[in-house]
Amino acid sequence: MDLLQGLKKGNKRAAAKLITMIENRTEGYQDVLKEIHKSSGKAYVIGITGPPGAGKSTLTDKLVKEIRKQDKKVAIIAIDPTSPFSGGSILGDRIRMNDLSLDPGVFIRSMGTRGHLGGLSVATKSAIKILDVYGAEYIFVETVGVGQSEIEIVKSADTTVMVMVPGLGDDIQAIKAGIMEIGDVFVINKADRDGANRTRAEIEMMLDFSNSEFKPAVKMAVAVDGKGINDIIDEIERHKEYLIKTDKYHHNRVTSAREEIVEIIKENITDKIFNDHLISSQLAELTQKVVKREIDPYTAGFNILKSIKL
């Protein structure tokens, strides 16, 4: 409860401790989330995603520095593959070393992709809520991969910035197909490299096929030199205005809340399976039978479902 008081007053340590509590699912974490839910929902959430090597961290760094000029409190959540060897996060360390971490108005946190039985997207949404109540006006969520889970995570952002880079070769087709639907602002970073105009043209052509009401712009940037940053911020602002004007802002949050509830239900079912001694031994026994081809996994699953008390 002291932590919750601290959080509401904007205490960084309280925010950090509460996020850890949620990541570790320390007893009482659900009470914390229940308690803070009613004070949350004010922050604007910006997702930053794109393929590895696109320079997403650098771009996030520059965007945050620009927003800080307006003296707004900012938080960054870096979704970060956790090293099995170091036991810690790697990208997070890289980010934390930079000068942003010295700014008292910036909260930086990396969240690993391991050990989230209930799914990383639930943990991320919970961390967003904590940082919202902590007082962050803008929350950046930066993912490393471009996989399905990462798409799930950035889907819950209000505005998603898709960072591309010249020279992805044929894979750009596949990436574009997977991400086109979730990008609200497109950035060709490292635009001083060969092929930037071609990549831009390819993305614009693909966007032309879309019949969605909001037409995302494709912006060129060289984040490392600070080039194109203001343009991107203007685009984020344009998208935000569009969302609010069309009530999509509210509609998206309804979708996100529905998904969160369904995820919580699934998380709870998984908990019941692994925390109940009888059910987990039943699972172990039936798994052996499935491997021996004595029964099939559907029959096994339905048998276990019968043992779960809701």
Chain positions 147 to 166 lying near a copy of itself, rule: CB under 8 A, are 147-151
Shortest reach from residue 47's CB to a copy of itself, in Å: 14
Residues binding a copy of itself: number (CB under 8 A): 90
Of the two residues 154 and 229, which places its CB atom closer to a copy of itself in the complex? 154
Shortest reach from residue 139's CB to a copy of itself, in Å: 18
Chain positions 176 to 205 lying near a copy of itself, rule: CB under 8 A, are 176-181
Beta bridge partners of 111: 79
Mark 240-279 with x for binding to a copy of itself (rule: CB under 8 A) and - for no binding: ----------x--xx--xx-xxx-xxx-xxx--x------
Q: Is residue 46 close enough to count as binding a copy of itself by CB under 8 A?
A: no
Q: Is residue 104 close enough to count as binding a copy of itself by CB under 8 A?
A: no
Shortest reach from residue 149's CB to a copy of itself, in Å: 4
Shortest reach from residue 262's CB to a copy of itself, in Å: 6
The helix, strand and coil proportions of the chain, stated in percent and rounded to the nearest 5, come to 55, 15, 30
Of the two residues 84 and 104, which places its CB atom closer to a copy of itself in the complex? 84
Residue-wise DSSP of 257-308: HHHHHHHHHHHHHHHHHHH-HHHHHHHHHHHHHHHTTSS-HHHHHHHHHHH-
For a copy of itself, which residue of 169, 194, 247, 277 counts as binding (CB under 8 A)?
A: 169
Residue 148's Cβ-count burial label (10 Å; 0-12, 13-18, 19+) is exposed
Q: What angle do CA 18, 20, 26 make, to 5 degrees?
A: 85
Say if CB 216 and CB 249 are below 8 A apart. Answer: no
Those residues whose C-beta lies under 8 Å from the C-beta of residue 16, and which sit 6 or more positions away, are 107, 109
Shortest reach from residue 71's CB to a copy of itself, in Å: 27
User: Which tokens sit at 106?
Assistant: 């910036």
Of the two residues 71 and 170, which places its CB atom closer to a copy of itself in the complex? 170
For a copy of itself, which residue of 67, 108, 131, 168 counts as binding (CB under 8 A)?
A: 168
Q: Is residue 33 close enough to count as binding a copy of itself by CB under 8 A?
A: yes
Chain positions 218 to 247 lying near a copy of itself, rule: CB under 8 A, are none
**Residues found in the chain:** 310
Which of the stretches 11-19, 26-34, 99-107, 196-204 binds a copy of itself when contact is defined by CB under 8 A? 26-34
CA dist list (Å): 56 to 97, 152, 165, 223, 251: 16, 18, 10, 9, 28
Q: How far apart are the first and last CA of the chain?
A: 29
